[in-house]
Amino acid sequence: MKEIKVIAKRIDWSNLEAKFDSLLPTLYTARKEAVERLNNQKAKLASMATGLLLQEITKQELGIKPEELIISKKEQGKPYIVGYEDFCFNISHAGDMVAIAYGDSPVGIDIELVRCRENDLKVAKRCFAEEEYRFITEEAYELDMENISRSKEERFFMVWTMKEAYLKYKGTGISVPMKSFVVRPYENKIVGEKLTCEPVIINDYVYSVCVDEGVEVTLDICS
How many residues in the chain? 223
- CA-CA distance, 100 to 59, in Å (whole number)? 14
Q: Which domains does the chain have, with CATH numbers?
A: 3-104 (3.90.470.20), 110-222 (3.90.470.20)
Confidence grade of residue 101 (pLDDT, cut at 50, 70, 90)? very high
Confidence grade of residue 139 (pLDDT, cut at 50, 70, 90)? low
User: Which whole number is the average pLDDT over 161-166?
Assistant: 97
Single pTM value for the model:
0.92
User: Which whole number is the average pLDDT over 172-184?
Assistant: 87
Counting residues of the chain whose pLDDT is more than 70, the rounded percentage is 94
Above 80 in pLDDT, residue 84? Answer: yes
The lowest-confidence range among 93-97, 112-116, 132-136, 139-143 is 139-143
- CA-CA distance, 207 to 24, in Å (whole number)? 28
